[in-house]
Each structure stands twice: as C-alpha cells, then as structure tokens.
C-alpha cells in the first residue's frame, strides 16, 4: 500500500446464531493489520469494533456481512445485517442495554456493550437501522502516521 489508491478489502459473511464461527472475521482482520505493520493500538481498536459488530450480527440479526477496507490513512468497517433492525437506537447506544435472549446471556454475551464499544473505538461512527428490515453500522478508524 504505497499510493493513495491502494486499498485492501476484506469481506465476511456472518451467519445468524453461528457462535462456533463468531470472532473469526475480527481475528482475521487483526492478523492482516498486524502483517501490514499497523500500530498495535489501531489494530486493537479495529479488532474490538469488528468483533462487536460481528457478534451483534450473530446475536441479533438474520445474518449479514462485514466489509473492512484498509487504505493508507484509514480503516473503514461496514457491518450490514438483514433485520430485524433496532427499535430505539438511542436506547441501544446506552451501556448495559441489551435485547439479547437468556440463551445468549448464558453463553456469556449480551451485556449491552456492543454498540457503545464500537462507538468508543471509532473516530467516525454512524448507525442506521430500519425496524423489521436492516441495520448498517459504519465506522472509520484513522491510521496515525508518525
């Protein structure tokens, strides 16, 4: 990635309730960023944001995809899922709020930190959701050069 036009795009299909594969996309993104020599603090933020998006798709949606675009100055993470959407985004943004099922909570997930953690880890964060349709989370994390 020497020029401004050089980009790497990673794309992952995420299945509903696939706890066995959950975390593989974020783990792979982390490996790619480490291989590229990206600063470890940036890698950590990207890995957390991607993991939280991935888990939200697994837990709350009917499936979706995550697309990570790595360029020389930023990393863009777009998570798009198929329904059921978020009824109240402001409520979902509050730490500790969760609509996860008891089964999900028994597995150790659903603490209500997914969306707040995504926002904390991002330099730019946007979430759009249509109830009974879809949710799109867009995050940008800038790569700081010394």
We report the CATH number of the domain holding residue 66 as 3.30.565.10
- The answer to whether the beta carbons of residues 28 and 66 sit under 8 Å apart is no
Give the SS3 label for residue 135.
strand
Inside any domain, residue 1: no
Q: How many domains does the chain have?
A: 1
In which band, very low, low, confident or very high, does the pLDDT at 107 lie, cut at 50, 70 and 90? confident
Tokens of 69: 């675009």
Strands, E assignment, the chain: 8-14, 64-70, 74-82, 124-130, 134-142
Structural domain including 47 reads 8-142
Inside any domain, residue 2: no
Mean residue pLDDT across the chain:
92
Inside any domain, residue 3: no
Q: What is the pTM of this model?
A: 0.91
Q: Is the pLDDT of residue 73 over 60?
A: yes
pLDDT at 2: 47
Cα 8 from Cα 36, distance rounded (Å)? 11
pLDDT at 1: 53
Q: Which residues pair with 134 in a beta bridge?
A: 82, 130
Phi, psi of 13 (to 5 degrees): -85, 135
- The answer to whether the beta carbons of residues 60 and 100 sit under 8 Å apart is yes
Cα 50 from Cα 55, distance rounded (Å)? 9
Place of tokens 């980009």: 7
């Amino acid at each position: 990635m020497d020029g401004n036009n050089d980009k790497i795009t990673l794309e992952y299909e995420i299945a509903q309730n696939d706890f066995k594969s959950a975390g593989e996309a974020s783990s792979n993104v982390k490996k790619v960023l480490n291989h590229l020599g990206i600063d470890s603090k940036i890698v950590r933020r990207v890995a957390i944001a991607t993991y939280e998006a991935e888990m939200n798709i697994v837990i709350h949606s009917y499936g979706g995809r995550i697309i990570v675009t790595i360029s020389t100055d930023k990393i863009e993470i777009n998570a798009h899922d198929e329904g059921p959407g978020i009824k109240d985004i402001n409520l979902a943004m509050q730490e500790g709020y969760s609509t996860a099922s008891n089964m999900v909570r028994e597995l150790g997930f659903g603490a209500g930190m997914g969306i707040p953690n995504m926002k904390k880890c991002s330099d730019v964060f946007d979430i759009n959701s249509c109830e009974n349709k879809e949710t799109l989370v867009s995050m940008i994390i800038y790569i700081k050069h010394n």
